Amino acid sequence: MRIVLLGAPGSGKGTQAHRLAERSGIPQISTGDLLRAAVARGTPLGLEAKAVMESGGLVDDALVLGMIRERLAEPDARAGFVLDGFPRNLVQAAALDGLLAELRQPLDAVVQLEVDPAELVRRISGRRSCADCGRVFNVLTSPPPSGAAAICPKTGAPHRLIQRPDDNEATVAERLRVYEEKTRPLIAFYQSRGLLRVIDAEGGLDAVTQRLAQALAAPAAARPRRAAARKRASRRKPARTAGRRRPTARAAKRRPASRKAPARAARKKRAGSPRARKAARRRTRR
């Protein structure tokens, strides 16, 4: 299963991608997580990305594409993947198309998670993540559980909750603006490819997980008529190029009469009738 989750910051892509990946036994690939890891390690890529991430902008396409290309080449991605936070603009979407065509691993579905803007801001303000394992919680909507689930799998101690530096009010506003301008056009991009499903991502986590599973089980919404017709027309090939032979003269004789044939035969019969011959003689005499 090769899936892209689309949605604004705070729409729950990360949480739902994590659940879907666990359930399906495939990796969740989040460019945000990969970039944060590079920042934390202080790699050259991380150093370049840090300032842009803190401003709420998009990291350079070439950097992100290089990172994704490497990640998709890892063995665990052969069974499938859930992409979260990538692609983020049309250049990245076209590059992903090309890369997956090269790997002969086309996408199966793209799911857009729809959330009201006011709810997005509320969710982001309550978001906290574990500084050690990166697991995401929300102090307003899904607080860290008690018991064994409260223990960080990396340290064996309770999760250490921190707020992401780019989850502050000013940066969030910029991230939402960038989403509308650069990422929202991907909805039409994937709709025209017949891959898009849209779900209501408000409400409880489990309800959204269920809607996501249903959306993935259902066929994609019909693509817009004009795009579908263009695609059908481009698929139609003349008999020869489609590998079909032209019928031989004998085969043509054996062919059943076309639907037009009876009408043609009736015209011929009328033309040969005594009444028709008489009318024709009268016309030539005039």
Note if 175 is an active site residue: yes
For ligand AMP, the closer CB: 35 or 196? 35
- The catalytic position among 50, 123, 175, 211 is 175
Q: At closest approach, how far in Å is the CB of 227 from ligand AMP?
A: 25
Q: At closest approach, how far in Å is the CB of 155 from ligand AMP?
A: 22
Applying CB under 6 A, among 19, 50, 88, 123 the residue interacting with ligand AMP is 88
- For the record, the structure tokens of 7 come out as 């949605």
| C-alpha distance across the termini of the chain, in Å | 79
The site that binds ligand AMP (CB under 6 A) totals a number of residues, namely 17
Note if 88 is an active site residue: yes
Applying CB under 6 A, among 11, 31, 129, 191 the residue interacting with ligand AMP is 31
- The catalytic position among 19, 71, 123, 127 is 127
94's enclosing H/E stretch is helix 90-102
d(CA 237, CA 239): 6
Note if 13 is an active site residue: yes
Q: Does 136 bind ligand AMP (CB under 6 A)?
A: no
Long-range contacts of 218-222 (CB under 8 A, 24+ apart): 220/109, 220/194, 220/195, 220/196, 221/191, 221/196, 221/197, 222/194
Sheet of strand 2-7: strand arrangement = 28-30, 81-84, 2-7, 109-114, 196-200
Note if 223 is an active site residue: no
**Residues 54-73 within binding reach of ligand AMP (CB under 6 A):** 56-59, 64
**Residues 137-196 within binding reach of ligand AMP (CB under 6 A):** 166, 175
Q: At closest approach, how far in Å is the CB of 126 from ligand AMP?
A: 15
For ligand AMP, the closer CB: 173 or 279? 173
Q: At closest approach, how far in Å is the CB of 91 from ligand AMP?
A: 10
Applying CB under 6 A, among 35, 95, 115, 176 the residue interacting with ligand AMP is 35
**Which 3 state secondary structure label does DSSP give 151?**
strand
d(CA 171, CA 72): 29
Note if 127 is an active site residue: yes
Q: Does 52 bind ligand AMP (CB under 6 A)?
A: yes
263 contacts 257 by C-beta, under 8 angstroms: no
Q: Is omega for the bond preceding 144 within 30 degrees of 0, making it cis?
A: no
Q: At closest approach, how far in Å is the CB of 33 from ligand AMP?
A: 7
Q: What is the phi/psi pair of residue 196, to 5°?
A: -80, 135
- For the record, the structure tokens of 31 come out as 């460019």
Interface with ligand AMP by CB under 6 A: which residues? 9, 31-32, 35, 52-53, 56-59, 64, 85-86, 88, 92, 166, 175
- Report, as residue numbers or ranges, the catalytic residues: 13, 88, 127, 164, 175
